[in-house]
Structure 1
């Protein structure tokens, strides 16, 4: 019998496996994906949001606990557990030396990500390199890894973990860490969560999945059905507006279109529907997927002009390009006159001061609903560009309720030997909204906590048996 069983293969699972092994426990990690697709959504990440009191190697300035907390409070609208959120924040300040010991390397933020140079530490080689480093370290330390091993059920005794089942095979362990992701690639569950809209559409049918196809929520559903305490709204997620031509799965970061704040967003009726200049892009980019999901046909269009070119990370796919707005409308399939009228109304409302996309500048609109509160400049310089965008789900926020030890709860009581980390519990911290890099902060913090807790539970059982 193994001491600690870790179910999952991404950042949180690997952090748990490494911590448990370092604590002296024997560890088996079960990854549902084949080896070439290992790592879950973590393979698509690129940075970690970090609290720090002074400049640190790749991090500039200071990013104290209270500022991190206020940033999180703002994006979640207060739908967060402050004790658990602050635990994540504090853990983010002391994990990077440990990460380096396991082969993770960091680099300064590059052009296009300079807004994050103070708050986020970037992984050299991105999330794939991080995942590979952790797997190499885990294998060196003697962690057993099985690929293509999706767990379909757990055997529980009350709230106590007994064994996991894989296609009839039974795997016992003294303690278990669940880190198998959300249910974003389960279309049926997404349909159930979102239902039909006023137009009779199933919005979820038009969602693209930015991350792995293997996160189907099988164990999440199983645990909830077994009486585990859950938290979060199943319709809430890290949901980004991504290029409508992106693949159904595993498009990752490169499918993002980051020019929204430099122009306007319209729906398929060629009408604006939200303030594009509400706040800095890293803090607000993740609201746009949900906003687009609420529009007819679950599609939106980002419109910019030549003045915006060079001020955002170039998209992988080139956008529609035209010398006139009617021509751009035709390319995008929008009503020509309505788009022209929308842009004329926006242009007339612009009050341009000193444009500066690196600060919350004074370029805004007046007498326009919805307003654009920053970076508002007329769209009047050819050529014009347009990008069709759809909701891209990264991970879902419905999860299992936890405490500071990462224990799964049943009827309000913490399990003695079943723990959870990563997307399966992120809803404790993220009730809604997102800010860049915080998913990795949650996964790293609670992965490390869960691994430590599981090892302690397992080794305590060994000690009792030997006494």
Structure 2
């Protein structure tokens, strides 16, 4: 770009692309900097599948109704109240109106595949997954004249009195100082930064460094460089706990980076999970899998060696999305214990106690059924059936980090705040601010809802700031305009 852009967008995933598209549609010139090479563009968005959507009646690929209050209660439950209700409801309402805009930019939706977490009512699935969504947005952005530079990580920002002045980037190996009238930060969390994860999680009472055993489900490029720079060098207002994250129990054989959704183990609620001592440690049937799957990464992270084992029998086969790797198979439970490297006596005591405690009623994994345990701790409150039908299967689990929740405190204008004062030209979206809505916990598809809502708001506000247009005195009016 030969002249200074109106809006600089830093990041290359869903939130960044939504911001770039909205700013361009508002008439601003836009430059987007993506740290990754073109082949790896899109950040964690490339690994997504769906968007959690509020709707009051059946809509295209969504069945039934998922009203605002139910969505809010689902979010309230998984976060344990650690959420900003006003911003959460903004995201929820925005999710009901964004799909037509997404379609205009080339995104296609499809009904969920069979067995896809029972979310046909709550989640709209992208045809071709997140990679197709990212590619569609890049095609639309380039067609509209958004300038894109790959292999362009930003190392630091110039900020004066809360106003963005310039970004210092390394573009394909060459340092550049890039000025712009306004800037949107959407460069992701710090989940790929092993040193920062280690610092956040520290050393446990067993002398372990838990983060050393974490796998990263998505991009290797989310190092948190700008996030730390904003928090430590510029004193930006922060939100969130650095140990909280969207963390899932995934196959221990998954790669260190970019394993994506196919490495997740989805059979947890159909069997039991034991630690390396062969003991259960949490209620596997607490709630529906889409609402509770993201607690299991943290639960496994708290076990010795940061490892767990999901155990099922043949009755469970066909009732969950199969993972990319086959499970360890055995014709008896003692054989399975040996093949998994677990202490056989403890494992068998755990399984025998669990099997004896099962009170089987009418099993239905699509409902909160009446199959439960009695007289065993921890209880299994739903879908409890004896594990007694060969062959038996076991999957070793490790914590898989999707994205971190420590971020920049913002409001419904998406402005970055310094000493509680919103910047007039620096905005934030996506993982860098998700902690405003997600203090802890997760429910399927809400990360894309947050990124889409705040990406669109940030892009609209940045364009207005760059063009010298007055931003709404009432921030809610600005947000409503951005998401309409």
TM over 0.5: yes
Task: Tell me the CA shift for residue 326 of structure 1.
Answer: 1.1
Cα deviations by residue, 1:79-132 (Å, 9 ceiling, x for unpaired): 000000000000001100000000000000111116100000000000000000
Which residue, 230, 238, 243 being the options, matches 2:251? Answer: 243
Which residue, 134, 137, 147 being the options, matches 2:137? Answer: 134
1:67 matched to 2:67: no
Q: How many residues align?
A: 463
Correspondences of 1:61-460 after superposition (within 5 Å): 61-113=64-116, 115-167=118-170, 168-225=175-232, 226-460=234-468
> Could you say if the C-alpha distance between residues 182 and 361 of structure 1 is closer, same or farther in structure 2, counting changes exceeding 3 Å?
same
Task: Tell me the CA shift for residue 462 of structure 1.
Answer: 11
Q: Distance in 1 between matches of 2:16 and 2:34?
A: 9
SS in 2 for 1:327: helix
Task: Assess if the C-alpha contact under 8 Å between 1:4 and 1:26 holds in 2.
Answer: yes
Cα deviations by residue, 1:175-209 (Å, 9 ceiling, x for unpaired): 00000000000000000110011100000000000
Q: What TM-score comes out, normalization by structure 1 length? A: 0.98
Which stretch of structure 1 is more off in the superposition, 418-427 or 106-115? 106-115
Task: Tell me the CA shift for residue 461 of structure 1.
Answer: 7.0
Task: Tell me the CA shift for residue 169 of structure 1.
Answer: 1.3
Structure 1 segments, 4+ long, off by >4 Å, are none
Q: Distance in 1 between matches of 2:271 and 2:245?
A: 25
SS in 2 for 1:59: coil
Task: Assess if the C-alpha contact under 8 Å between 2:117 and 2:289 holds in 1.
Answer: no
Aligned Cα RMSD in Å?
1.0
Q: Distance in 2 between matches of 1:215 and 1:461?
A: 33
Q: Distance in 2 between matches of 1:396 and 1:305?
A: 34
Cα deviations by residue, 1:252-300 (Å, 9 ceiling, x for unpaired): 0000010000000000000000000000000000000000000000000
Task: Tell me the CA shift for residue 166 of structure 1.
Answer: 1.1
Which residue, 2, 10, 13 being the options, matches 2:13? Answer: 10
Q: What TM-score comes out, normalization by structure 2 length? A: 0.95
Which residue, 15, 37, 50 being the options, matches 1:34? Answer: 37
Q: Distance in 1 between matches of 2:326 and 2:113?
A: 21
SS in 1 for 2:177: strand
Q: Distance in 1 between matches of 2:251 and 2:300?
A: 12
Which stretch of structure 1 is more off in the superposition, 144-153 or 110-119? 110-119
Task: Assess if the C-alpha contact under 8 Å between 1:174 and 1:461 holds in 2.
Answer: no
Q: Distance in 2 between matches of 1:279 and 1:384?
A: 24
Where does residue 476 of structure 2 map in the other structure?
A: none
Task: Tell me the CA shift for residue 442 of structure 1.
Answer: 0.1
Q: Point out where structure 1 has 5 or more consecutive residues left out of the alignment.
A: none
Q: Distance in 1 between matches of 2:117 and 2:90?
A: 27
> Could you say if the C-alpha distance between residues 26 and 32 of structure 1 is closer, same or farther in structure 2, counting changes exceeding 3 Å?
same
SS in 2 for 1:177: strand
Q: Distance in 2 between matches of 1:114 and 1:330?
A: 31
> Could you say if the C-alpha distance between residues 462 and 86 of structure 1 is closer, same or farther in structure 2, counting changes exceeding 3 Å?
closer
Task: Tell me the CA shift for residue 315 of structure 1.
Answer: 1.1
Q: Distance in 2 between matches of 1:447 and 1:162?
A: 21
Task: Assess if the C-alpha contact under 8 Å between 2:72 and 2:89 holds in 1.
Answer: yes
Q: Distance in 2 between matches of 1:19 and 1:155?
A: 24
Where does residue 480 of structure 2 map in the other structure?
A: none
Q: Distance in 2 between matches of 1:348 and 1:326?
A: 17
